[in-house]
Chain A
Amino acid sequence: MTTYYTNEHEWISVDGDVGTVGITAFAAGKLGDVVFVELPDAGKAVKKDADMAVVESVKAASDVYAPVTGEVVEGNAAIVDDPAKVNADPEGAGWFVKIKLADKGQLTGLMDKASYEAFCAAQ
């Protein structure tokens, strides 16, 4: 299983042709306390770099972008019920959706962990 990162601070962890997607710890820290999450329904088609979910902190609403094109297999109901899970474990239990990838070739354009850490350090 390999994890990739976007410059919009999403991560995608790929197992076979399904990727689990969430927001990074860096993004969760910047947002602050998450109070609301809106996820796409299973079966929804998502497009790389287009908004697919919404995350709201006390102060503001932010879009979450799809790191790849594909179809939503499952949304994480646990973070809808308890949005604080996103802050508690953003790169684990606080995942957003699982996406069936349409084109695994899109992954090559994303960052690996070392590149993403360097990217955040430069922010």
Chain B
Amino acid sequence: MSEVSNAPLKKTPLHALHTRLDARMAEFGGYDMPIQYAEGIMAEHNWTRAHAGLFDVSHMGPSFLSLPQLGGGDEAHRKIASIVEKLVASDIAGLAPGKVQLTVLLNENGGIIDDLMIGRPPRDDQQGGLYIVVNAGTKENDFAIIAKAAGADAELHRADDRALIALQGPDAEAVIADIFPQAVGLTFMTFKQIKGTPFGDIIATRCGYTGEDGFEMLIPAEHADAFANRLLEDHRVKPIGLGARDSLRLEGGMCLYGHDIDASKTPVAASLAWMISKPRRERGDFPGAGRILRELKEGVPSKRVGIRPLGRAPAREGTEIQNLEGETVGVITSGGFGPTVNGPVAQGYVDTSYSKAGTPLKLIVRGKALEAEVATLPFVPAKYKR
């Protein structure tokens, strides 16, 4: 998904903070983003697993899809859900108030256009609205697709001028309890709006992309710097760059769009079939339903699995996977070193007959065949607050 562009890089509301913290910056999703701070990826990764890490994820695409008039209970929710259900295979109509769902946008062939979060607001007077967060590199296209599906029935309001700040790790709850006590009651994959905080009207979601407990908070841009500084005053919090965010999500077994999933993959091939909900399967009313329902029944030729190199050498994206006979059976889609695992970890696609956990494989790294095996995902157990 890399596009060559001469456009200047966009900056998040926390850009000045990253500069003050002497972050090493690089382009990601069209934004100038912190890859790491002074202590480096390994220390940042380990800090997040042990304490709490602050991540600037403002490059992502938060938005609100709303009927012209909010309120109106379940009927209003069903109406707004019917719009996004044209694009995803999850049961959005059946979401409980306050719940957030991770799902994928599908094209007409059942290919994955993006992964995204869709939330149903908790309060009665907010029904008919949805909170939607898409990825940075794909957001222009995603927003266009969602707005087109909405037509004249609903309006999409982008909120990507605000700051989206994640706090992840075992100390995240205790840190947030001092700042937004109303957020502590949230359980995994629920969200709420909190009005009149010292940092303005915010949205807190109990979620993240590290496998740890934590929150993602949508903060008005003018309060972003003060909020981040308030978090960093706490001795349990350190800033974490995208480098450690990637090693944390890889150990957590989660997909990186454009690498582990893209338009050439269906949710079935991507081992994300749980995103295709039962009522939607019965109705078969989602994009690519013909192909996806057939794949659910008959299986797929290759699928996404975890892969554990048995030596010390990491296997990077693009590494060829062979069976013990030396035949090509797949490719690594993301791979690196997992600091918590203390060894190399990877994900990739293999022919389905090689997808069972424990299956021995060879990875071709710099011309050498290195031993590996199919591993159960995640590599590090999730610690979500249910």
Contact = CB atoms under 8 A, between A and B. Distances in A.
* Chains A and B bind each other: yes
Interface of A: 32-33, 35-36, 38, 54, 56-61
B313 interface: yes
22 contacts: A32-B36, A33-B40, A33-B41, A33-B42, A33-B43, A35-B42, A35-B312, A35-B337, A36-B312, A36-B313, A36-B344, A57-B41, A57-B337, A58-B41, A58-B45, A58-B339, A59-B35, A59-B41, A59-B246, A59-B336, A60-B316, A61-B316
Nearest to A60: B316
B366 interface: yes
Q: Is the interface of B mostly helix, strand, loop or mixed?
A: mixed
A59 B36 CA distance: 11
A57 B337 CA distance: 8
Contacts of B312: 35-36
A54 B366 contact: yes
Given A56-B313, A58-B243, A59-B336, 12 more contacts: A32-B36, A32-B41, A32-B42, A33-B42, A35-B42, A35-B337, A57-B41, A58-B41, A58-B45, A58-B336, A58-B337, A61-B314
A60 B336 CA distance: 8
Interface residues of B, number: 20
Contacts of A38: 313, 366
Contacts of B243: 32, 58-59
Contacts of A35: 42, 312, 314, 337
Interface of B: 35-36, 40-43, 45, 243-244, 246-247, 312-314, 316, 336-337, 339, 344, 366
A61 B309 CA distance: 15
Contacts of A59: 35, 41, 243, 246, 336
A122 B38 CA distance: 21
A33 B247 CA distance: 13
A32 B41 CA distance: 7
Nearest to B41: A58
Contacts of A60: 316
Nearest 4 A/B pairs, CB to CB: A33-B42, A35-B337, A58-B41, A58-B337
Contacts of A33: 40-43
B314 A56 contact: yes
Nearest to A51: B366
A56 B243 CA distance: 14
Nearest to A33: B42
Contacts of B40: 32-33
Contact of A56 (B43, B247, B337): B337
Contacts of B246: 59
Contacts of A57: 41, 337
A61 to B, nearest CB: 6
Contacts of A32: 36, 40-42, 243
A57 B344 CA distance: 11
B274 to A, nearest CB: 30
A77 to B, nearest CB: 13
Nearest to B36: A32
A61 B319 CA distance: 12
A30 B339 CA distance: 19
A60 B317 CA distance: 10
Query: Which of A35, A54, A60, A61 has the most chain B CB within a 10 Å cutoff?
Result: A35
Query: Which of B43, B244, B314, B344 has the most chain A CB within a 10 Å cutoff?
Result: B314
